[in-house]
A and B are shown apart, each in its own frame.
Chain A
Amino acid sequence: MTETALPAPSHPAALVRALKSFALLRESWVGLLGAALIAFWVIVALFAPLLAPYDPLATIQGYAAPGASAPDGGTFWLGTDHIGRDILSRIIWGSRTVLIYAPIATFFAYVVGIVMGLAAGYFRGWADEVLSFIANMILSFPVLVLYIIIIATYGASPINILLAIIFASSPGIMRLVRGLVLDLRNREYISAAQTRGESSWHIMLVEILPNARGPLIVDSCLRLGYVIITIGVLGFLGLGLPPPDPDWGGMINETRQMAMAFPHMTLFPCIAISSLILGFNLLADGLREISLRD
């Protein structure tokens, strides 16, 4: 054996690997389409101030049809709503609301769910029984009923909505993580880690969690979709973020009484939110398809 020096492991290598695994998406047109839809809305949200033709809160001219010309010589491409705000601008700014709240809520739901799931699956015994019972109890609520109760009781503020989503979503994540951990904890490399004296949290976070990432990534895409739906539904039911900030669900709610006469007011926000959810669902499907291949 020659004493060859090794190149030191570098951090860009990890980045390259992440990019490479992302590049696998091109093998699934479904996933690619999903990623494209998401990318579209992310760009829209990032460049909202540049893209939106009007102030989303300004009342300019009520009930304008799509394509009508605006008083300032511009065009209301998607028309205006009942109090005269430009719908295109509101959809563009509304994408920010969705793309800020949904990922934050999902992220924290994951933190809570992963910690609970790791503990339940790894320690088993009474920790598992207690955590699983709590999770089952929360999961036995029809989701929307749970949201309605929480928000009806504590009011519809952004922070309450986030907390409600974390409260209602983390048990599902916990169950998923628990199942994965129960499988992974029996692997021989876990025994190897135990027999070299690793601590429980090291084993959970370093030895187990990284190997559960595949299903968790797929699930997080689906769950982002659900959370977006939830935020939308709450807005639609009048329990969402307080007006006047543009929120897609809220836009639908405010104008749905006029949907028969002015369908454009509700139709375009509906298309926007559906396309974003479709993006996440397609991406999840594509990722799952790829992960099943090898």
Chain B
Amino acid sequence: MLVFILKRLGYMALTMIAVSILLFLLLEISPGNVATKVLGPYSNEEQRNLWLEAHGYFEPLYVRYFAWLANFVTGDFGESIRFKVPVSQVLWPRLGNTAILGLATFAVMIPLSLVLGVLAGMREGSKLDRAISVTSIATTSVPEFASTVFVSAIFVFWLKLLPGTSTMTDGFSLRQLVLPVMVLVLYDFGYIARMTRASMAEVMTTAYIRTAVLKGLPYKQVILKHALRNALIAPFTVIMLQLNWLLSGVIVVEFFFAYKGFGALLLEASLNQDIFVIEACAMVAVFVAVASQTLADIGYTYLNPRIRFA
């Protein structure tokens, strides 16, 4: 098991290095572009060359890459063009805000989707199953940017129950968190619920569930002891991978509700060509995604005795 974890961590490091190369190539392959972004479109050729010279951009590509990587690893992400402060100063508080949003979303979404999924999958084809399935298809079909519009129309415009922005300028406000979380949960819960349902429905048709029933176990015990343990392995992985999708949703939601989070930062940076912020945000985002995938893999192995004791 330890070997497996080390192997996964090694693979994760390898992926991060590959990703960093890809990012570097995407964003920094052309020094001229970088200089234009840093100095603005009205800078002249000479200014740009001076800046490039000063920042080591005339070195060979691989030297630049390693210098760039070394800076990254030591936490030096460069300076934000827009905010005129080191990127890390902007990034960490924003990341903290997004973590709050993400945790709140998971706290609502996971119990909701698992319970609905298990209920639907327990009796495949029942009325409850159909209702849950169709609802989850419908909610997953409304993209986040559309549901932001729908929920604000309902709760802000007509019912006047909740604030339409979540700037949190006067400190943390739970009321301001409700709509962003609602939008994220609405879009994402359906997917997990459907995965859980499929997994549960499949388990319910297996021979070992038949064995459990024909042993004369009470239905509750069949479900809780025999079915759930196997049915929840697949959704566990999906939930961990969901972080990846959640991050996409977070960008939209933060943008719409003016929530001062990480996603909004990345978007603003890209709209303003704030290149070092983009790089830092992208690396952090990928790190979170890759780390969660690694965790999902390790967890999956741990949950599945067939692999654990192979």
Contacts and interface: CB of A to CB of B under 8 A. Distances in A.
Q: Do chains A and B touch in the complex (CB under 8 A)?
A: yes
A156 to B, nearest CB: 10
Nearest to B148: A256
Contacts of B245: 142-143
A142 B248 contact: yes
B141 A141 contact: no
B298 interface: no
A38 to B, nearest CB: 12
Contacts of A8: none
A278 B146 CA distance: 13
Nearest to B30: A153
B182 interface: no
A143 B244 contact: yes
Contacts of A137: 15, 18-19, 22
B82 to A, nearest CB: 13
Residue with the greatest number of chain B CB neighbours at <10 A, chosen from A141, A232, A237, A266: A141
A201 B269 CA distance: 46
A263 B164 CA distance: 13
A43 B302 CA distance: 52
Contact of A149 (B23, B146, B150): B23
Interface in B120-175: 133-134, 137-138, 140-146, 149-150, 152-153, 156-157, 164
Interface string A216-238: 00000000010001001100111
B23 A270 contact: no
B281 A145 contact: yes
A144 interface: yes
Contacts of A252: 145-146, 149
Interface string A261-278: 001001100110110011
- SS of A interface (majority): helix
B89 to A, nearest CB: 21
A191 interface: no
B156 to A, nearest CB: 7
A69 to B, nearest CB: 25
A148 B270 contact: yes
Interface in A66-93: none
Given A137-B15, A137-B22, A233 B145 contact: yes
A140 B13 CA distance: 12
B255 A237 contact: yes
A252 B146 CA distance: 8
Nearest to A263: B153
B156 A260 contact: yes
A142 B281 CA distance: 11
B293 A140 contact: yes
Contacts of B26: 149-150, 153
A142 B289 contact: yes
B167 to A, nearest CB: 15
A259 interface: yes
A282 B27 CA distance: 39
B273 interface: yes
A273 B146 contact: yes
Interface of A: 30, 133, 136-138, 140-145, 148-153, 225, 229, 232-233, 236-239, 249, 252, 256, 259-260, 263, 266-267, 270-271, 273-274, 277-278, 281-282, 285
